[in-house]
Amino acid sequence: MLNTTTAPATGFTPLQSTNPGQVTGMYILPRALKNIGIDTMYGLVGIPVTEFAYLCQMQGIKFVGFRHEQQAGMAAATHGYLTGKPGVLLTVSSLGFMNGLTATTNATVNCYPMIQISGSSVREPIDLDQGTYEGLDQLNVAKGLVKAAYRVNQPQDIPVAVARAYRAAISGRPGGVYLDVTTPCLGATMDKDEAAKLFFTPVDPQPPMVPSADSVKRAVQLLASAKRPAFVLGKGAAFARIDDEIKQLVETTGIPFYPMSMAKGLLPDSHPLSAISARSTIMEQADVVVLVGARLNWLLSRGQGKWNPQGKFIQLDIDPQEIDCNRPIAAPVVGDLKSSVTALLNALKGVTLSMDSAWVPGIQAESKVKNAKFLQRLQVDTVPMTHWSALGPVKKVLESNPDVILVNEGANTLDDTRDAVDMSLPRHRIDCATWAIMGMGMGSAIGAAVATGKSVVAVEGDSAFGFSGMDFSTICRFKLPVTVVIFNNGGIYNGIGVNPSGGTDPAPTTLDVKARYDKLGEAFGAKTYYVTTPADLQTALTEAIASKLPCLIDVQLAADSGKESGHIGYLNPASLYQFTV
Protein backbone atom coordinates (compact mmCIF):
# COMPACT_ATOMS: atom_id res chain seq x y z
CA MET A 1 0.00 0.00 0.00
CA LEU A 2 1.05 3.56 -0.59
CA ASN A 3 0.70 6.01 2.21
CA THR A 4 -0.65 9.33 0.94
CA THR A 5 -0.22 11.42 4.09
CA THR A 6 1.15 14.89 3.53
CA ALA A 7 3.30 16.89 5.92
CA PRO A 8 1.61 20.30 6.28
CA ALA A 9 4.76 22.18 7.26
CA THR A 10 6.70 21.28 4.15
CA GLY A 11 3.85 20.71 1.74
CA PHE A 12 3.72 17.52 -0.18
CA THR A 13 5.78 14.57 0.93
CA PRO A 14 6.39 12.13 -1.89
CA LEU A 15 4.14 9.14 -1.60
CA GLN A 16 5.81 6.64 0.61
CA SER A 17 5.37 3.02 -0.06
CA THR A 18 4.61 1.00 3.02
CA ASN A 19 4.66 -1.99 0.75
CA PRO A 20 7.33 -1.62 -1.91
CA GLY A 21 5.87 -4.56 -3.79
CA GLN A 22 2.67 -2.63 -4.57
CA VAL A 23 1.86 0.39 -6.75
CA THR A 24 -1.29 2.49 -7.10
CA GLY A 25 -3.20 3.54 -10.19
CA MET A 26 -1.97 7.10 -9.75
CA TYR A 27 1.60 5.83 -9.96
CA ILE A 28 0.90 3.71 -13.05
CA LEU A 29 -0.85 6.55 -14.93
CA PRO A 30 2.16 8.90 -15.26
CA ARG A 31 4.34 5.92 -16.17
CA ALA A 32 1.90 5.01 -18.92
CA LEU A 33 1.81 8.62 -20.15
CA LYS A 34 5.59 8.91 -20.17
CA ASN A 35 5.78 5.63 -21.97
CA ILE A 36 3.90 7.08 -24.94
CA GLY A 37 5.99 10.25 -24.95
CA ILE A 38 3.84 12.67 -22.92
CA ASP A 39 6.24 15.09 -21.24
CA THR A 40 3.90 17.95 -20.30
CA MET A 41 0.55 18.22 -18.57
CA TYR A 42 -1.67 21.29 -18.13
CA GLY A 43 -4.25 21.32 -15.38
CA LEU A 44 -5.72 22.35 -12.09
CA VAL A 45 -5.67 20.03 -9.08
CA GLY A 46 -7.86 19.07 -6.16
CA ILE A 47 -9.55 15.86 -5.01
CA PRO A 48 -8.92 13.25 -6.41
CA VAL A 49 -5.94 14.19 -8.62
CA THR A 50 -3.59 16.27 -6.44
CA GLU A 51 -1.19 13.46 -5.54
CA PHE A 52 -1.35 12.23 -9.11
CA ALA A 53 -0.07 15.64 -10.32
CA TYR A 54 2.77 15.48 -7.78
CA LEU A 55 3.61 12.00 -9.00
CA CYS A 56 3.71 13.31 -12.58
CA GLN A 57 6.22 15.97 -11.50
CA MET A 58 8.21 13.36 -9.61
CA GLN A 59 8.36 11.22 -12.71
CA GLY A 60 9.62 14.10 -14.87
CA ILE A 61 6.40 15.26 -16.51
CA LYS A 62 6.22 19.07 -16.56
CA PHE A 63 3.05 20.17 -14.80
CA VAL A 64 1.70 23.60 -15.68
CA GLY A 65 -0.87 24.56 -13.04
CA PHE A 66 -3.59 27.02 -14.11
CA ARG A 67 -6.25 29.24 -12.56
CA HIS A 68 -9.02 27.85 -14.73
CA GLU A 69 -9.37 24.48 -16.44
CA GLN A 70 -10.64 25.91 -19.71
CA GLN A 71 -7.35 27.73 -20.11
CA ALA A 72 -5.36 24.64 -19.24
CA GLY A 73 -7.37 22.83 -21.91
CA MET A 74 -6.68 25.54 -24.49
CA ALA A 75 -2.98 25.16 -23.68
CA ALA A 76 -3.17 21.38 -24.12
CA ALA A 77 -4.96 21.77 -27.46
CA THR A 78 -2.41 24.29 -28.73
CA HIS A 79 0.38 22.03 -27.51
CA GLY A 80 -1.19 19.23 -29.56
CA TYR A 81 -1.55 21.39 -32.66
CA LEU A 82 2.02 22.67 -32.49
CA THR A 83 3.79 19.42 -31.65
CA GLY A 84 1.61 16.94 -33.54
CA LYS A 85 1.28 14.88 -30.34
CA PRO A 86 -1.72 15.08 -28.02
CA GLY A 87 -1.55 17.74 -25.34
CA VAL A 88 -2.81 16.58 -21.95
CA LEU A 89 -5.25 18.35 -19.64
CA LEU A 90 -5.83 17.25 -16.05
CA THR A 91 -9.04 18.18 -14.25
CA VAL A 92 -10.81 17.35 -10.99
CA SER A 93 -14.23 15.76 -10.93
CA SER A 94 -17.50 17.35 -12.08
CA LEU A 95 -16.91 21.13 -12.06
CA GLY A 96 -13.26 20.99 -13.11
CA PHE A 97 -14.23 18.40 -15.67
CA MET A 98 -16.99 20.65 -17.01
CA ASN A 99 -14.71 23.70 -17.14
CA GLY A 100 -12.16 21.71 -19.11
CA LEU A 101 -14.67 20.05 -21.39
CA THR A 102 -15.28 23.26 -23.34
CA ALA A 103 -11.64 23.19 -24.39
CA THR A 104 -11.73 19.48 -25.25
CA THR A 105 -14.83 20.00 -27.35
CA ASN A 106 -13.25 23.05 -28.97
CA ALA A 107 -10.22 20.89 -29.77
CA THR A 108 -12.51 18.33 -31.39
CA VAL A 109 -14.23 20.99 -33.49
CA ASN A 110 -10.83 22.33 -34.56
CA CYS A 111 -9.16 18.93 -35.12
CA TYR A 112 -6.47 19.54 -32.46
CA PRO A 113 -5.21 16.38 -30.75
CA MET A 114 -5.59 16.45 -26.97
CA ILE A 115 -6.55 14.19 -24.08
CA GLN A 116 -8.52 15.41 -21.08
CA ILE A 117 -7.85 13.19 -18.10
CA SER A 118 -10.27 13.77 -15.29
CA GLY A 119 -10.56 12.27 -11.89
CA SER A 120 -14.13 11.20 -11.24
CA SER A 121 -15.95 10.23 -8.10
CA VAL A 122 -16.86 6.75 -6.96
CA ARG A 123 -19.38 5.22 -9.37
CA GLU A 124 -21.94 3.59 -7.11
CA PRO A 125 -23.42 6.71 -5.45
CA ILE A 126 -23.34 8.54 -8.78
CA ASP A 127 -25.32 5.82 -10.49
CA LEU A 128 -27.86 5.83 -7.66
CA ASP A 129 -27.88 9.66 -7.62
CA GLN A 130 -27.07 9.71 -3.93
CA GLY A 131 -25.37 13.09 -3.76
CA THR A 132 -21.72 12.15 -3.47
CA TYR A 133 -18.83 14.64 -3.39
CA GLU A 134 -18.48 16.24 -6.83
CA GLY A 135 -20.53 13.49 -8.38
CA LEU A 136 -21.38 13.61 -12.07
CA ASP A 137 -21.78 10.98 -14.76
CA GLN A 138 -18.82 12.52 -16.59
CA LEU A 139 -18.32 9.85 -19.22
CA ASN A 140 -21.85 10.23 -20.51
CA VAL A 141 -21.66 14.01 -20.42
CA ALA A 142 -18.46 13.92 -22.47
CA LYS A 143 -19.74 11.45 -25.07
CA GLY A 144 -21.10 13.30 -28.05
CA LEU A 145 -18.95 16.36 -27.36
CA VAL A 146 -15.55 14.77 -27.95
CA LYS A 147 -13.97 12.52 -30.53
CA ALA A 148 -13.86 9.54 -28.15
CA ALA A 149 -14.51 8.94 -24.45
CA TYR A 150 -13.32 6.12 -22.22
CA ARG A 151 -13.45 5.23 -18.55
CA VAL A 152 -10.80 3.29 -16.69
CA ASN A 153 -11.86 1.54 -13.49
CA GLN A 154 -8.88 -0.54 -12.45
CA PRO A 155 -5.11 0.09 -12.39
CA GLN A 156 -4.26 -2.86 -14.61
CA ASP A 157 -6.27 -1.26 -17.47
CA ILE A 158 -4.44 2.07 -17.34
CA PRO A 159 -1.72 1.37 -19.95
CA VAL A 160 -4.33 0.17 -22.46
CA ALA A 161 -6.64 3.08 -21.63
CA VAL A 162 -3.82 5.58 -22.24
CA ALA A 163 -2.86 3.92 -25.52
CA ARG A 164 -6.49 3.97 -26.66
CA ALA A 165 -6.87 7.64 -25.77
CA TYR A 166 -3.60 8.45 -27.56
CA ARG A 167 -4.59 6.61 -30.74
CA ALA A 168 -8.03 8.16 -30.75
CA ALA A 169 -6.60 11.68 -30.37
CA ILE A 170 -3.99 11.37 -33.10
CA SER A 171 -5.17 8.89 -35.72
CA GLY A 172 -7.39 9.87 -38.64
CA ARG A 173 -8.89 13.32 -38.04
CA PRO A 174 -7.33 14.50 -34.77
CA GLY A 175 -9.54 15.62 -31.92
CA GLY A 176 -10.18 15.86 -28.21
CA VAL A 177 -10.43 12.63 -26.23
CA TYR A 178 -11.84 12.22 -22.76
CA LEU A 179 -10.37 9.73 -20.29
CA ASP A 180 -12.35 9.26 -17.10
CA VAL A 181 -10.26 7.90 -14.23
CA THR A 182 -12.26 6.95 -11.17
CA THR A 183 -11.12 7.67 -7.63
CA PRO A 184 -10.94 3.94 -6.83
CA CYS A 185 -8.81 3.37 -9.92
CA LEU A 186 -6.35 6.07 -8.82
CA GLY A 187 -6.14 4.70 -5.30
CA ALA A 188 -6.27 0.96 -5.92
CA THR A 189 -3.04 -1.01 -5.75
CA MET A 190 -1.54 -3.84 -7.69
CA ASP A 191 1.65 -5.84 -7.72
CA LYS A 192 4.56 -3.69 -8.95
CA ASP A 193 6.16 -6.40 -11.08
CA GLU A 194 2.81 -7.27 -12.66
CA ALA A 195 2.27 -3.58 -13.41
CA ALA A 196 5.69 -3.33 -15.05
CA LYS A 197 4.67 -5.98 -17.57
CA LEU A 198 1.66 -3.94 -18.71
CA PHE A 199 3.49 -1.00 -20.29
CA PHE A 200 3.87 -1.07 -24.04
CA THR A 201 4.65 1.33 -26.86
CA PRO A 202 1.80 1.48 -29.35
CA VAL A 203 3.02 0.61 -32.84
CA ASP A 204 2.28 3.16 -35.54
CA PRO A 205 -0.30 5.23 -33.62
CA GLN A 206 -0.79 7.65 -36.51
CA PRO A 207 -0.75 5.34 -39.53
CA PRO A 208 -0.54 6.89 -42.99
CA MET A 209 -3.81 6.67 -44.87
CA VAL A 210 -2.92 6.44 -48.53
CA PRO A 211 -5.51 7.76 -51.00
CA SER A 212 -6.72 5.49 -53.79
CA ALA A 213 -4.92 5.78 -57.10
CA ASP A 214 -8.25 6.42 -58.85
CA SER A 215 -9.05 9.39 -56.64
CA VAL A 216 -5.65 10.93 -57.34
CA LYS A 217 -6.06 10.37 -61.09
CA ARG A 218 -9.51 11.98 -61.05
CA ALA A 219 -8.16 15.00 -59.17
CA VAL A 220 -5.21 15.46 -61.54
CA GLN A 221 -7.46 15.25 -64.59
CA LEU A 222 -9.75 17.91 -63.20
CA LEU A 223 -6.87 20.15 -62.17
CA ALA A 224 -5.23 19.79 -65.58
CA SER A 225 -8.42 20.97 -67.29
CA ALA A 226 -8.78 24.08 -65.08
CA LYS A 227 -8.50 27.54 -66.58
CA ARG A 228 -8.58 29.41 -63.28
CA PRO A 229 -7.50 26.99 -60.54
CA ALA A 230 -6.71 27.87 -56.92
CA PHE A 231 -5.56 26.15 -53.76
CA VAL A 232 -7.23 26.86 -50.43
CA LEU A 233 -4.84 25.89 -47.65
CA GLY A 234 -6.32 25.13 -44.23
CA LYS A 235 -4.96 24.50 -40.77
CA GLY A 236 -5.18 20.75 -41.49
CA ALA A 237 -2.33 21.32 -43.95
CA ALA A 238 -0.36 23.26 -41.34
CA PHE A 239 -0.97 20.52 -38.77
CA ALA A 240 0.18 17.82 -41.21
CA ARG A 241 3.70 19.29 -41.30
CA ILE A 242 4.16 18.96 -45.05
CA ASP A 243 5.59 22.41 -45.58
CA ASP A 244 8.02 21.33 -48.31
CA GLU A 245 5.40 19.34 -50.20
CA ILE A 246 2.94 22.26 -50.12
CA LYS A 247 5.62 24.62 -51.38
CA GLN A 248 6.43 22.19 -54.17
CA LEU A 249 2.78 21.74 -55.09
CA VAL A 250 2.18 25.48 -55.35
CA GLU A 251 5.45 26.36 -57.03
CA THR A 252 5.62 23.53 -59.58
CA THR A 253 2.02 24.13 -60.70
CA GLY A 254 2.19 27.94 -60.43
CA ILE A 255 -1.39 27.90 -59.10
CA PRO A 256 -2.30 30.70 -56.66
CA PHE A 257 -3.17 29.85 -53.06
CA TYR A 258 -5.47 31.33 -50.47
CA PRO A 259 -4.54 30.52 -46.85
CA MET A 260 -7.16 30.20 -44.14
CA SER A 261 -6.39 32.16 -41.00
CA MET A 262 -4.22 29.59 -39.22
CA ALA A 263 -2.64 28.42 -42.49
CA LYS A 264 -1.14 31.89 -42.95
CA GLY A 265 2.62 31.46 -43.09
CA LEU A 266 2.50 27.91 -44.41
CA LEU A 267 3.80 29.76 -47.42
CA PRO A 268 4.69 33.40 -46.75
CA ASP A 269 1.80 35.84 -47.19
CA SER A 270 4.24 37.81 -49.38
CA HIS A 271 4.71 34.85 -51.77
CA PRO A 272 4.12 35.86 -55.41
CA LEU A 273 1.39 33.21 -55.72
CA SER A 274 -0.44 34.31 -52.56
CA ALA A 275 -4.05 35.25 -53.29
CA ILE A 276 -4.71 36.36 -49.73
CA SER A 277 -5.82 39.78 -50.92
CA ALA A 278 -7.98 38.38 -53.71
CA ARG A 279 -10.44 36.23 -51.74
CA SER A 280 -13.52 37.41 -53.65
CA THR A 281 -11.84 36.85 -57.01
CA ILE A 282 -10.95 33.28 -56.02
CA MET A 283 -14.50 32.64 -54.83
CA GLU A 284 -16.23 34.22 -57.81
CA GLN A 285 -13.92 33.22 -60.63
CA ALA A 286 -11.96 30.07 -59.86
CA ASP A 287 -13.25 27.13 -61.89
CA VAL A 288 -11.38 24.44 -59.92
CA VAL A 289 -10.58 24.89 -56.24
CA VAL A 290 -8.37 22.44 -54.37
CA LEU A 291 -9.16 22.34 -50.64
CA VAL A 292 -6.06 21.18 -48.82
CA GLY A 293 -6.91 20.43 -45.18
CA ALA A 294 -9.60 23.12 -45.18
CA ARG A 295 -13.30 22.59 -44.60
CA LEU A 296 -16.00 24.20 -46.69
CA ASN A 297 -17.68 25.42 -43.49
CA TRP A 298 -19.03 28.84 -42.48
CA LEU A 299 -15.58 30.37 -42.79
CA LEU A 300 -15.81 29.67 -46.54
CA SER A 301 -19.53 30.50 -46.81
CA ARG A 302 -20.16 26.74 -46.95
CA GLY A 303 -19.23 26.80 -50.64
CA GLN A 304 -22.23 29.01 -51.39
CA GLY A 305 -22.86 32.74 -51.66
CA LYS A 306 -20.10 34.33 -53.69
CA TRP A 307 -18.62 31.06 -54.89
CA ASN A 308 -18.76 30.43 -58.64
CA PRO A 309 -21.81 28.14 -59.04
CA GLN A 310 -20.08 26.35 -61.92
CA GLY A 311 -16.82 25.95 -60.01
CA LYS A 312 -15.66 22.45 -59.13
CA PHE A 313 -13.87 21.31 -55.98
CA ILE A 314 -11.08 18.86 -55.33
CA GLN A 315 -10.88 18.12 -51.61
CA LEU A 316 -7.89 16.58 -49.84
CA ASP A 317 -8.94 15.45 -46.38
CA ILE A 318 -8.40 12.56 -44.03
CA ASP A 319 -12.07 12.31 -43.08
CA PRO A 320 -14.33 10.72 -45.71
CA GLN A 321 -17.39 12.17 -43.98
CA GLU A 322 -16.20 15.69 -44.69
CA ILE A 323 -16.70 15.19 -48.42
CA ASP A 324 -19.91 16.66 -49.95
CA CYS A 325 -20.92 18.05 -46.56
CA ASN A 326 -21.91 21.41 -48.01
CA ARG A 327 -21.44 21.20 -51.72
CA PRO A 328 -20.79 18.31 -54.12
CA ILE A 329 -17.08 17.59 -54.37
CA ALA A 330 -16.09 16.58 -57.91
CA ALA A 331 -12.81 14.94 -56.90
CA PRO A 332 -12.42 13.82 -53.29
CA VAL A 333 -8.97 12.59 -52.30
CA VAL A 334 -9.35 10.88 -48.95
CA GLY A 335 -6.12 10.20 -47.16
CA ASP A 336 -3.56 11.79 -44.90
CA LEU A 337 -2.17 14.93 -46.45
CA LYS A 338 1.41 13.76 -46.63
CA SER A 339 0.38 10.74 -48.66
CA SER A 340 -2.19 12.66 -50.73
CA VAL A 341 0.00 15.63 -51.61
CA THR A 342 2.93 13.33 -52.40
CA ALA A 343 0.67 11.21 -54.64
CA LEU A 344 -0.64 14.35 -56.33
CA LEU A 345 2.89 15.65 -56.93
CA ASN A 346 3.90 12.34 -58.50
CA ALA A 347 0.80 12.12 -60.66
CA LEU A 348 1.26 15.71 -61.84
CA LYS A 349 4.72 14.98 -63.26
CA GLY A 350 4.64 15.48 -67.03
CA VAL A 351 1.04 16.74 -66.95
CA THR A 352 0.40 20.01 -68.77
CA LEU A 353 -1.98 22.40 -67.08
CA SER A 354 -4.38 24.55 -69.10
CA MET A 355 -4.38 27.58 -66.79
CA ASP A 356 -5.32 30.88 -68.47
CA SER A 357 -2.19 32.96 -68.87
CA ALA A 358 -4.03 36.02 -67.51
CA TRP A 359 -5.23 34.33 -64.27
CA VAL A 360 -2.16 34.68 -62.05
CA PRO A 361 -1.05 38.11 -63.36
CA GLY A 362 -4.63 39.33 -62.76
CA ILE A 363 -4.54 38.18 -59.14
CA GLN A 364 -1.10 39.68 -58.67
CA ALA A 365 -2.16 43.03 -60.10
CA GLU A 366 -5.29 43.10 -57.93
CA SER A 367 -3.26 42.16 -54.84
CA LYS A 368 -0.74 44.91 -55.48
CA VAL A 369 -3.41 47.60 -55.66
CA LYS A 370 -5.29 46.28 -52.62
CA ASN A 371 -2.15 45.83 -50.52
CA ALA A 372 -1.03 49.41 -51.23
CA LYS A 373 -4.45 50.73 -50.21
CA PHE A 374 -4.45 48.57 -47.12
CA LEU A 375 -1.03 49.82 -46.06
CA GLN A 376 -2.30 53.39 -46.15
CA ARG A 377 -5.00 52.48 -43.64
CA LEU A 378 -2.31 51.25 -41.28
CA GLN A 379 -0.17 54.34 -41.57
CA VAL A 380 -2.60 56.69 -39.88
CA ASP A 381 -1.42 58.15 -36.60
CA THR A 382 -4.88 58.68 -35.10
CA VAL A 383 -4.89 59.40 -31.37
CA PRO A 384 -6.81 58.13 -29.50
CA MET A 385 -5.86 55.06 -31.44
CA THR A 386 -8.16 52.98 -33.60
CA HIS A 387 -7.62 49.29 -34.31
CA TRP A 388 -5.90 50.40 -37.51
CA SER A 389 -3.55 52.97 -36.08
CA ALA A 390 -2.57 50.47 -33.37
CA LEU A 391 -2.00 47.73 -35.92
CA GLY A 392 0.47 49.84 -37.92
CA PRO A 393 3.21 49.43 -35.27
CA VAL A 394 2.08 45.89 -34.34
CA LYS A 395 2.50 44.85 -37.97
CA LYS A 396 5.96 46.43 -38.17
CA VAL A 397 7.24 44.82 -35.00
CA LEU A 398 5.76 41.36 -35.58
CA GLU A 399 6.90 41.19 -39.18
CA SER A 400 10.43 41.98 -38.08
CA ASN A 401 10.18 39.18 -35.48
CA PRO A 402 8.78 36.43 -37.74
CA ASP A 403 9.60 33.62 -35.33
CA VAL A 404 7.28 35.00 -32.67
CA ILE A 405 4.05 32.99 -32.42
CA LEU A 406 0.98 35.20 -32.75
CA VAL A 407 -2.11 34.33 -30.71
CA ASN A 408 -5.17 36.36 -31.59
CA GLU A 409 -8.79 36.67 -30.47
CA GLY A 410 -11.58 39.25 -30.39
CA ALA A 411 -13.93 40.50 -33.08
CA ASN A 412 -12.43 43.59 -34.75
CA THR A 413 -9.16 42.80 -32.98
CA LEU A 414 -9.16 39.37 -34.60
CA ASP A 415 -10.26 40.36 -38.09
CA ASP A 416 -8.07 43.41 -38.38
CA THR A 417 -4.95 41.78 -36.90
CA ARG A 418 -5.34 38.77 -39.20
CA ASP A 419 -5.61 41.06 -42.21
CA ALA A 420 -2.84 43.43 -41.13
CA VAL A 421 -0.05 41.14 -39.97
CA ASP A 422 1.64 39.07 -42.66
CA MET A 423 2.94 35.71 -41.51
CA SER A 424 5.97 34.07 -43.02
CA LEU A 425 6.43 30.85 -41.05
CA PRO A 426 4.12 27.86 -40.70
CA ARG A 427 2.20 27.25 -37.45
CA HIS A 428 2.95 30.71 -36.07
CA ARG A 429 -0.63 31.93 -35.89
CA ILE A 430 -3.19 30.53 -33.45
CA ASP A 431 -6.61 32.05 -33.09
CA CYS A 432 -10.20 31.48 -31.99
CA ALA A 433 -10.62 29.51 -35.22
CA THR A 434 -13.56 27.31 -36.25
CA TRP A 435 -15.78 28.01 -33.24
CA ALA A 436 -14.79 31.67 -32.89
CA ILE A 437 -14.34 30.92 -29.21
CA MET A 438 -13.40 33.78 -26.91
CA GLY A 439 -11.19 32.78 -24.02
CA MET A 440 -8.52 30.82 -25.84
CA GLY A 441 -5.93 33.58 -25.47
CA MET A 442 -3.93 33.02 -22.30
CA GLY A 443 -4.19 29.22 -22.52
CA SER A 444 -3.06 29.07 -26.15
CA ALA A 445 -0.26 31.54 -25.48
CA ILE A 446 0.98 29.39 -22.59
CA GLY A 447 0.65 26.16 -24.58
CA ALA A 448 2.52 27.71 -27.51
CA ALA A 449 5.35 29.03 -25.33
CA VAL A 450 5.73 25.79 -23.35
CA ALA A 451 5.47 23.49 -26.37
CA THR A 452 7.93 25.38 -28.56
CA GLY A 453 10.10 27.46 -26.23
CA LYS A 454 9.45 30.39 -28.57
CA SER A 455 8.31 33.88 -27.77
CA VAL A 456 4.60 34.54 -28.08
CA VAL A 457 2.57 37.71 -28.58
CA ALA A 458 -1.17 37.52 -27.84
CA VAL A 459 -3.19 40.31 -29.45
CA GLU A 460 -6.45 40.40 -27.52
CA GLY A 461 -9.66 42.38 -27.65
CA ASP A 462 -10.55 43.71 -24.19
CA SER A 463 -13.61 41.47 -24.04
CA ALA A 464 -11.68 38.45 -25.30
CA PHE A 465 -8.96 38.99 -22.69
CA GLY A 466 -11.58 39.10 -19.94
CA PHE A 467 -12.45 35.44 -20.52
CA SER A 468 -8.99 34.20 -19.67
CA GLY A 469 -7.25 37.17 -18.06
CA MET A 470 -6.56 35.56 -14.69
CA ASP A 471 -4.28 33.04 -16.34
CA PHE A 472 -1.94 35.90 -17.15
CA SER A 473 -0.73 35.00 -13.66
CA THR A 474 0.24 31.57 -14.99
CA ILE A 475 2.36 33.24 -17.67
CA CYS A 476 4.11 35.12 -14.86
CA ARG A 477 4.43 32.14 -12.49
CA PHE A 478 6.13 30.11 -15.21
CA LYS A 479 8.14 33.13 -16.43
CA LEU A 480 7.13 32.56 -20.02
CA PRO A 481 8.28 34.80 -22.89
CA VAL A 482 4.73 35.95 -23.60
CA THR A 483 3.59 39.50 -24.29
CA VAL A 484 -0.11 40.18 -24.01
CA VAL A 485 -1.35 43.17 -26.00
CA ILE A 486 -4.85 44.32 -25.05
CA PHE A 487 -6.78 46.48 -27.49
CA ASN A 488 -9.07 48.35 -25.11
CA ASN A 489 -11.96 49.98 -26.91
CA GLY A 490 -14.12 49.51 -23.84
CA GLY A 491 -16.39 46.79 -25.05
CA ILE A 492 -17.56 43.89 -27.12
CA TYR A 493 -17.03 45.30 -30.64
CA ASN A 494 -16.69 48.86 -29.24
CA GLY A 495 -17.44 50.90 -26.15
CA ILE A 496 -20.20 53.17 -27.42
CA GLY A 497 -23.22 50.94 -26.89
CA VAL A 498 -26.25 52.74 -25.46
CA ASN A 499 -28.78 51.21 -23.09
CA PRO A 500 -31.97 51.58 -25.16
CA SER A 501 -34.20 51.71 -22.06
CA GLY A 502 -32.67 55.01 -21.06
CA GLY A 503 -31.64 53.44 -17.72
CA THR A 504 -28.24 53.80 -16.13
CA ASP A 505 -27.06 50.21 -16.57
CA PRO A 506 -24.29 49.83 -19.14
CA ALA A 507 -25.30 48.57 -22.58
CA PRO A 508 -24.89 44.81 -23.20
CA THR A 509 -21.73 45.45 -25.20
CA THR A 510 -20.17 47.98 -22.83
CA LEU A 511 -17.08 47.12 -20.76
CA ASP A 512 -14.44 49.32 -19.18
CA VAL A 513 -12.75 51.75 -21.54
CA LYS A 514 -10.87 53.38 -18.67
CA ALA A 515 -9.72 50.14 -17.11
CA ARG A 516 -5.95 49.96 -16.60
CA TYR A 517 -5.18 46.39 -17.54
CA ASP A 518 -1.49 47.16 -17.02
CA LYS A 519 -2.18 47.32 -13.26
CA LEU A 520 -3.47 43.78 -13.43
CA GLY A 521 -0.18 42.73 -15.00
CA GLU A 522 1.72 44.58 -12.28
CA ALA A 523 -0.03 42.51 -9.61
CA PHE A 524 1.78 39.44 -10.88
CA GLY A 525 5.15 41.04 -11.40
CA ALA A 526 5.04 41.45 -15.17
CA LYS A 527 6.68 44.28 -17.04
CA THR A 528 3.74 46.45 -18.06
CA TYR A 529 3.00 49.36 -20.37
CA TYR A 530 0.06 51.68 -20.87
CA VAL A 531 0.25 53.23 -24.34
CA THR A 532 -1.84 55.86 -26.04
CA THR A 533 0.08 56.50 -29.27
CA PRO A 534 1.29 54.30 -32.14
CA ALA A 535 4.89 55.36 -31.48
CA ASP A 536 4.73 54.29 -27.83
CA LEU A 537 3.11 51.02 -28.81
CA GLN A 538 5.94 50.30 -31.23
CA THR A 539 8.57 51.00 -28.57
CA ALA A 540 6.74 48.94 -25.94
CA LEU A 541 6.18 45.91 -28.16
CA THR A 542 9.76 45.92 -29.42
CA GLU A 543 11.09 46.09 -25.88
CA ALA A 544 8.65 43.50 -24.55
CA ILE A 545 9.51 40.88 -27.17
CA ALA A 546 13.23 41.47 -26.70
CA SER A 547 12.92 40.99 -22.92
CA LYS A 548 11.69 37.38 -23.31
CA LEU A 549 9.76 37.94 -20.07
CA PRO A 550 6.07 38.13 -19.24
CA CYS A 551 4.82 41.53 -20.39
CA LEU A 552 1.44 43.19 -20.68
CA ILE A 553 0.69 46.16 -22.93
CA ASP A 554 -2.57 48.00 -22.35
CA VAL A 555 -3.35 49.73 -25.63
CA GLN A 556 -5.81 52.56 -25.19
CA LEU A 557 -8.14 52.70 -28.18
CA ALA A 558 -10.96 55.12 -28.85
CA ALA A 559 -14.28 53.78 -27.58
CA ASP A 560 -15.80 54.18 -31.02
CA SER A 561 -13.19 52.07 -32.76
CA GLY A 562 -14.73 48.84 -34.09
CA LYS A 563 -18.05 47.77 -35.54
CA GLU A 564 -20.57 45.22 -34.34
CA SER A 565 -19.33 41.65 -34.92
CA GLY A 566 -16.24 42.83 -36.84
CA HIS A 567 -16.30 41.33 -40.35
CA ILE A 568 -19.16 38.94 -39.70
CA GLY A 569 -22.00 41.31 -38.87
CA TYR A 570 -23.91 39.69 -41.73
CA LEU A 571 -24.35 36.61 -39.51
CA ASN A 572 -26.47 38.51 -36.95
CA PRO A 573 -30.12 37.42 -37.09
CA ALA A 574 -31.31 40.89 -38.10
CA SER A 575 -28.99 40.87 -41.10
CA LEU A 576 -29.69 37.25 -42.00
CA TYR A 577 -33.44 37.72 -42.00
CA GLN A 578 -33.42 41.39 -42.98
CA PHE A 579 -35.60 42.82 -40.25
CA THR A 580 -35.11 45.89 -38.12
CA VAL A 581 -34.45 45.17 -34.45
| Least distance between ligand TZD and beta carbon 514 (Å) | 15
Cβ partners under 8 Å of residue 416, min gap 6? 387, 388, 391, 566
By beta-carbon proximity to ligand TZD, the closer residue of 335 and 521 is 521
**Binding-residue total with ligand ADP (CB under 6 A):** 24
By beta-carbon proximity to Mg ion, the closer residue of 100 and 461 is 461
Cβ partners under 8 Å of residue 128, min gap 6? none
- Contact between 416 and 391 under an 8 Å Cβ cutoff? The reply is yes
Task: Map residues 424-463 to x or -, x wherever contact with ligand TZD holds by CB under 6 A.
Answer: ------------xxxx---------------------xxx
By beta-carbon proximity to ligand ADP, the closer residue of 333 and 485 is 333
Decide: is 467 part of the binding site for ligand ADP (CB under 6 A). no
d(CA 419, CA 87): 29
Q: Which one among 30, 80, 113, 236 touches ligand ADP, defined by CB under 6 A?
A: 236
By beta-carbon proximity to ligand ADP, the closer residue of 332 and 439 is 332
By beta-carbon proximity to ligand ADP, the closer residue of 66 and 231 is 231
Task: Map residues 432-471 to x or -, x wherever contact with Mg ion holds by CB under 5 A.
Answer: -----------------------------xxx--------
**Binding-residue total with Mg ion (CB under 5 A):** 4
Decide: is 431 part of the binding site for ligand ADP (CB under 6 A). no
d(CA 239, CA 268): 16
Cβ partners under 8 Å of residue 546, min gap 6? none
- Contact between 66 and 445 under an 8 Å Cβ cutoff? The reply is no
Decide: is 262 part of the binding site for ligand ADP (CB under 6 A). yes
With CA atoms as reference, report the closest residue to 265 among 82, 436, 481: 82
Which residues in the 74-113 window bind ligand ADP by CB under 6 A? 110-111
> Out of Mg ion, ligand ADP, ligand TZD, none, which partner does residue 263 contact, by CB within 5 to 8 A per kind?
ligand ADP
d(CA 208, CA 204): 9
Q: What residues does 313 pair with on adjacent strands?
A: 289
β-pair type (288-292, 257-259): unpaired
Task: Map residues 468-507 to x or -, x wherever contact with Mg ion holds by CB under 5 A.
Answer: ---------------------x------------------
Decide: is 411 part of the binding site for ligand ADP (CB under 6 A). no
d(CA 49, CA 62): 15
Nearest residue to ligand TZD on Cβ basis: 461
Decide: is 487 part of the binding site for ligand TZD (CB under 6 A). yes
With CA atoms as reference, report the closest residue to 404 among 427, 433, 377: 427
Cβ partners under 8 Å of residue 540, min gap 6? 529, 531, 553
Cβ partners under 8 Å of residue 202, min gap 6? 36, 163, 166, 167
Task: Map residues 161-180 to x or -, x wherever contact with ligand ADP holds by CB under 6 A.
Answer: ------------xx------
d(CA 188, CA 194): 14
Residues of this chain that interact with ligand TZD (CB under 6 A) are: 410-413, 436-439, 461-464, 487, 489, 492-494, 562, 566
Residues of this chain that interact with Mg ion (CB under 5 A) are: 461-463, 489
Residues of this chain that interact with ligand ADP (CB under 6 A) are: 110-111, 173-174, 234-236, 239-240, 260, 262-263, 293-295, 297, 299, 317-319, 322, 336-337, 434
